[in-house]
Structure 1
Amino acid sequence: MLAIGDMSFATKKAALEHFRAVLGRSKVGETIDGPDHGQLLALLNRHPDALAKIGVGVAHFIVDVAAFGSRCFVVVRADGSSTDWSYRTAVAGVGRSLLEEFLAAARFEIAPEMQAFKREYFDRYESGMAPCQTTGQMISIHDAHVDHQPPHTFRAICDRFLDDEKMVPSYEWLSAPADNQHSCRFTNETLRQRFIDLHRRLADLQIVEASVNISAGSYGYRSATKEEAQRGLFDDP
C-alpha cells in the first residue's frame, strides 16, 4: 500500500496511472486547482529533490510542454520562479543515478533523429496508420515507439560509448539538475557529437507498438524491471 497525502494506492503502478490522468486532463498553462492541487502538493513532497523544487513555497501547479512535445508538471513558487518536476520520480521516491542521468541525456541527444525516423515511416502510409514491425498490428503514430533492434540496443550503444571513451558518467560532462531543464544533457560538445555519430553508425531502428517496446525493455540485455518501467527509463523520445 502506498500513501500519498490522504490517498492510498494498492501499488506504485496505480499511483502512476492516477497522476498520469491528472497530467492528461489538465490544460497547458492553466492553474491546477481543486483536489488535484492538494494531491500534487502531497506527491511533490515525496520527490527526492522536494526541498529544491519547493524552494520558498508552492503557489500553484501548471502543466507545460517539455522537450519534443511531452507534458510535464511545473511548480510555480511563491516568488514567481518555477521548475519542472517528474511525477514518476516522486512516486518512486528516489532520484536517478548518474548512469540513469547519462541514459536520459543520451536519449535527449538522439531524440530529434528518432522522431524524424518515426515521421518518415508514417509518412509512407496515407491513412495515418502503419504496421508495427514486430507484430504487424496497425498502429497510429501516437501509439508507436522507435525501437533499437539487437544486438545494438540503446543500452548496448550507451555501454559501447562509455567503453570507447574509457569513462564513467560524470557531472563533469553532464548537466547538473537545474530548474526547467526537463532532461539531463551533454555539456561537452565533443562527447555529445561522438555519441550521436556512434548511434548513427550502429543503430538499426524499427517502429513498434509502444506497449510492446516498454514491456520488452530497451536495454537489450534484459527486460525492464518494474521499477525502471515505472520511472520511465525505457520511454521512447
Structure 2
Amino acid sequence: MGIEIVIGDISFPTKEAAIAHCRAILHRSSLDTEITGNDASFVEALLYARPDKVAELAGRKVVRYLRKMHWHNTPCFFAELDDGSLLDISFMKFINAYPQRPGG
C-alpha cells in the first residue's frame, strides 16, 4: 500500500493523483482568475495544511483564491489577503513533504 495524501476531505492514493487534481484546478480556467466553489474550498484546505503559510497570514484574512503565474514561472494558487497582498500556496511543496511510497 502506498502513501495516502489527504487535503481537506479528499484522499489521494498517490502523489501523482494529488498533483493531477491540483493541476486540474489550476487549468480549469485561465490565469488571473478567481477560484470558486469546491475548488476554492480545496485550495483553502491546502493553505491550512501548510503551517508555514498559516504563519505568513499573521492575522490577515483571505479575501479570495486566485490562479496566477508564480515568480518561478509556474502556475500556482494564490490567496489574496485583506490588505491587498498575495500569498503563494505551492501544492508541490506540500505534496513533496510526503515520503516516497515504499519500494518506489
Q: What is the TM-score normalised by the length of structure 2?
A: 0.75
The number of residues matched between the two structures is 97
Hey, which bits of structure 1, 4+ residues long, moved more than 6 A? Answer: none
Check 1:18–1:53 CA distance in 2 against 1; reply closer, same or farther (3 A cut). farther
- Cα gap change, 1:66/1:4 in structure 2, threshold over 3 Å: closer, same or farther? closer
Contact 2:5 2:95 in 1 (8 A): no
CA RMSD of aligned residues (A): 2.4
Counterpart among 82, 85, 92 of residue 88 in structure 1: 92
Q: Distance in 2 between matches of 1:36 and 1:53?
A: 22
Pairing 1:57–2:65 present: no
Offset at residue 57 of structure 1 (A): 2.1
Structure 2: 5+ residue stretches without partners: none
Give the number of the structure whose residues are more often strand, by fraction: 2
Match of 1:31 in 2: 34
- Per the alignment, residue 70 of structure 2 pairs with 66
- Structure exhibiting the larger radius of gyration computed from Cα positions: 1
Q: Counterpart of 2:29 in structure 1: which amino acid?
A: S
Q: Deviations over 1:205-235 (max 9, x none)?
A: xxxxxxxxxxxxxxxxxxxx959xxxxxxxx
User: Do the aligned partners of 1:3 and 1:9 also contact (CA within 8 Å) in 2?
Assistant: yes
Q: For residues 1-237 of structure 1, what are the structure 2 equivalents within 5 Å?
A: 1-55=4-58, 56-67=60-71, 69-93=73-97, 226=100
The TM-score normalised by the length of structure 1 is 0.36
Gaps of 5+ in 1: 95-224, 228-237
Identify, as 1 or 2, the structure richer in helix.
Answer: 1
Superposed CA deviations along residues 36-82 of structure 1, whole A, max 9, x for unmatched, are 00000101112241223434122111111234743121111122211
